[in-house]
Structure 1
Amino acid sequence: MFGGGGGGLNPRKMEQMMQQMGIDVDEIDAEEVIIRTEEHDLVFNDPEVTKMDARGQETYQIIGSPEQVESGAAGGGDAGSEADAGVPDEDVELVAERAGVDEDAAREALEENDGDLAAAIADLE
């Protein structure tokens, strides 16, 4: 598409052309990228990630070799802790404060209302 012949365009000229077309390219300092599918997760450790914004349409390019792991097994840190706990602690505290109840009652009301803050507060009042 760009250039032709031997080695294509030099990177600086390519960047200038992309800017003229309204395309911004940024490198993202990613430690890990996880792509979840129904069957498995693809985990890219220390990948090269590039974000390209072409007039509001964002595209991400991931360069690296993924490891295929069991679905849901990937992810470190606190990534799944809120999902495992059900309802975020901040929501429980807010409902408990607004409804004037203890956190156990607030958590139970949130769980019964699928995390809907307003509905949980209304049930407790």
Structure 2
Amino acid sequence: MFGGGGGLNPRKMEQMMKQMGIDVDEIDAEEVVIRTDEHDLVFTDPDVTKMDARGQETYQIIGTPEERERGAASADEGAADADAGAGVDEGDVELVATRTGASEAEAREALERHDGDLAAAVADLE
């Protein structure tokens, strides 16, 4: 937008954007899901910035997405609610599954067996 920003100091950049009528806000997002025809892109703990340029809102997402089967992200939301009662953190389930290549169900079971201990669950599945 500004030619890469080069050596501009962030404060000066912010002042220039305000002069142009652009408001920038950081959004404390836990997860962002982008649904396509083929799959879902799920950004866990992304950096999200909202820019409002005279009523036109633009969102910038910084992070590395995990590609999931289409609609799987919605199913995970229900699983996370069910897990909240069981004491297993959904983020831990995803971490163990990603690290070991196990399914989320296998990762969840391993975490439950080891009372939420990440290292023990990973060791169990590797």
When normalised by structure 2's length, the TM-score is 0.56
* Alpha-carbon shift at residue 2 of structure 1 (Å): 3.7
| Residue 21 to residue 60, structure 1, CA distance change in 2 (3 Å) | same
The superposition leaves residues 32-86 of structure 1 with CA deviations (integer Å, 9 ceiling, x where unpaired) of 00000110000000000000000000000000000000000003159xxxxxxxx
The residue type equivalent to 2:16 in the other structure is M
3-state secondary structure, aligned to 1:74 = helix
1:64 aligns with 2:54: no
| Partner Cα separation in structure 1 for residue 71 and residue 62 of structure 2 | 22
**1:28-67 → structure 2 map (5 Å cutoff):** 28-67=27-66
Name the structure where helix makes up a greater proportion of residues. 2
| Residue 24 to residue 4, structure 1, CA distance change in 2 (3 Å) | closer
* Alpha-carbon shift at residue 8 of structure 1 (Å): 2.0
- In angstroms, what is the RMSD of aligned CA positions? 2.2
| Partner Cα separation in structure 2 for residue 57 and residue 51 of structure 1 | 10
The residue type equivalent to 2:65 in the other structure is P
Residue identity over aligned pairs, in percent, reads 84
Count of aligned positions? 77
3-state secondary structure, aligned to 2:52 = strand
Provide runs of 4+ in structure 1 moved above 3 Å.
Answer: 1-5
| Partner Cα separation in structure 2 for residue 77 and residue 26 of structure 1 | 30
Conservation of the 8 A alpha-carbon contact between 1:2 and 1:9? no
| Partner Cα separation in structure 1 for residue 60 and residue 67 of structure 2 | 18
When normalised by structure 1's length, the TM-score is 0.57
| Partner Cα separation in structure 1 for residue 52 and residue 58 of structure 2 | 6
